[in-house]
Amino acid sequence: MTLDANDKLLETVLQEYKILAEYERLQSEDLGGIYVTPSYENPFLWFGVIFVRSGLYKDAVFRFTVTLPSGFPNDSTVPTVTFQSDVFHPLVNPNDGVVELSEAFPKWQSGDNHIWQMLKFVQFILQNLDDHPIQSSHVANNEAYELLMENRPEFQLRVEHCVEESQRKLYELPAHPDRFYICFDRFNPDVHGPALESMKESKAMEVTTPPSSGLSWVRKGLYQPLSK
């Protein structure tokens, strides 16, 4: 193996280590209602689900992906957060679902910026929209912005529709599922009942890192994640 090849291999290993460290750091932060896992096939692609717990988008269950730039984290390019279903929001592009992050992350600064901060920002703009003054220069959906400013009832109606759609799509699988894609089953008493009883006994109703049994579901009508 040539010196250049060795250097390239070392560079790749170091980059993968930094990506893993970034993911481990995300796991240690308080991101209640947000679940993320890297793709099995591509370390630069992460799958995520956010359960919105308050605000106008309450009860929405939005799937999203995080795409890291090829030079991450030593690249000023900001990672991309893309919703997989329609999210009617002034900061979400209606054509491709990409979240406008430039307000909080004009460029990526390695060591100072982290993926968990991006996800915290996304959570904030969904749960605290009224507390977040949106500048017109950062708007990604002009229709949503205009309705929010000028016709609040219509805006709320459109939001309700996208919340309902997100719930309907919760159990859908992608056309080419990844081994680590986050999947949910409808509650089945025969399959999930024993796990639920065990959780009740231990009073561990908050989801953390799922143990090895791998059971995961969402209770019908509540859209709250339950795992064991």
Condensed to tens digits (0 to 9), the pLDDT of residues 149-168 reads: 999 999 999 999 999 999 99
Alpha-carbon distance of 82 to 48, in angstroms, equals 10
- The DSSP bridge partners found for residue 35 are 49
**CATH C-level class of 3-184:** alpha beta
H/E element holding 124?
Answer: helix 115-127
Query: Mean pLDDT across the stretch 200-204?
Result: 65
Q: What is the pLDDT of residue 185?
A: 79
Nearest-angstrom CA–CA distance, 134 and 154? 18
Residue 62 has pLDDT above 60, yes or no: yes
Give whole-number Cα distances, 179 to 41, 158, 169, 186, 217, in Å: 8, 34, 19, 20, 17
pLDDT of residue 213: 42
Give yes or no for residue 171 having a pLDDT over 80: yes
Give pLDDT, residue 63: 95
Q: Are strands 225-227 and 34-38 parallel, antiparallel or unpaired?
A: unpaired
Using CA atoms, how far residue 77 sits from 74, 104, 108, 109, in Å, is: 9, 13, 6, 9
Would you list the domain boundaries of the chain? Answer: 3-184
> pLDDT tens-digit profile of 25-61?
998 888 899 999 999 989 999 999 999 999 999 999 9
